[in-house]
Chains A and B, each alone.
Chain A
């Protein structure tokens, strides 16, 4: 069963059509990279799936639950309760982390398990401790985000998303706000998650990484999916002129 199904999704900001008829699906355990030039609609696509933007039309299904459908040209969202249930199955890692600055690393991670999932505090702390270890942040439990490097902050935000045990994890350009030296540590973490068969959708400008880590690549431009497929195929042997032109700008790929 597909964890995520998107059909004919469209989204307009004022007069600007940002998404035009987007369809794709993500299977369990798949790692999908979404690449494309700035303004191609990658982030908007992610935000529509994560309910941070309202789509104008199309259909979205998450884990077998219908989130959005279109009837007579009108977008209809599922009832609030379903939307909430769906939201908890999806995790999102933001480009600029969006950690809560007034909470320590530990507090940031246990906030949702404790207050939303109503886990006992001890259990939430135990899970958080494991995640902190996994992210290589042991000893930073009591630190505040402002005391951490960008790479460490992004690892905290990944741990925070994982603490809710989502079925699929989205990344919105997770390394774009980081110094080049720090991108490596984030990419390593994502790679480890991929090895654990975590289902992920990653919007990224890191072409080499997209080729290495993902088993499916989507190339977007101008609000359309121009091409999608196997990474080796798309990066190495694309027949599409637009894809070729885009990839040419990233040397070494």
Chain B
């Protein structure tokens, strides 16, 4: 490949970077709060809730994300097809049909699959963080008359955040790279485009350039987490 080719490939990949970033940020936006909720549900004293949460985590961590993406993408079309084949029509089927032909359908299924998958990992990280807080912190809060909500949000959560930063950083770095899995349903992101250009140019160079994109993104994530850790260094 000539230098001009490399420049051209980089330019095209740059155009698809926003799609990769969109997937990355929306997944974080939904999976982190969802992870907190799942961690809570897992600690629920009402056993059936805790068991169901365990099964959810087991499935999400126990099967490939790529499989989950494909399943999420084809679930609704399959449902609609089966319903039609068995002769049923009706409002609900039409709503699903409209949805699966809508502009954002692919992106929404991706966000659902990624968020549900990452929430399971985040939940386990957050649970570990919550359980690492000494019981004395709860007792001190109790003796001061803080409510359970106040205890969680004022005393426990700030300390949990500090403790889960390194493990969360790991997970976020993996997410940057996992966005490439969206290529399996032909979501127009960096990896898909790099593969196409690999064929166009009969060269492996586009893959190297794509790799550089992910590398730079993760360098930024690493630096961001470094500063986040530093920000919480004011206490031990």
Contacts and interface: CB of A to CB of B under 8 A. Distances in A.
A14 B155 CA distance: 31
A96 interface: yes
B137 A98 contact: yes
B144 A144 contact: no
B139 A87 contact: no
A222 B159 CA distance: 38
Q: Which of B145, B154, B155, B234 has the most CB of A within 10 A?
A: B145
Contacts of B162: 102
A88 B235 contact: no
A234 interface: no
A84 B236 CA distance: 31
A1 B150 CA distance: 34
Interface in B9-59: none
Interface residues of B, number: 19
B140 A99 contact: yes
Contact of B235 (A51, A90, A101, A164): A101
Nearest to A100: B155
Interface string B146-169: 100010001100110010000000
Interface in A44-95: 50-52, 84, 87-88, 90-92, 94
A241 B28 CA distance: 68
Nearest to B143: A92
A247 B123 CA distance: 53
Contact of B146 (A94, A98, A116): A116
Interface of B: 134, 136-137, 139-140, 142-146, 150, 154-155, 158-159, 162, 234-236
A96 B136 contact: yes
B140 A101 contact: no
Contacts of A94: 136, 139-140
A87 B137 CA distance: 16
Given A111-B144, A112-B144, 14 more contacts: A52-B142, A87-B143, A88-B145, A91-B143, A94-B136, A98-B134, A98-B140, A99-B140, A101-B235, A112-B145, A116-B145, A144-B234, A145-B235, A146-B236
Interface residues of A, number: 27
A100 B162 CA distance: 13
Contact of B154 (A50, A52, A84, A115): A115
A102 B235 contact: yes
A50 B143 CA distance: 8
A160 interface: yes
A160 B234 contact: no
A102 B136 contact: no
Nearest to B155: A100
A87 B144 CA distance: 8
Given A87-B145, A144-B235, A146-B236, A100 B140 contact: yes
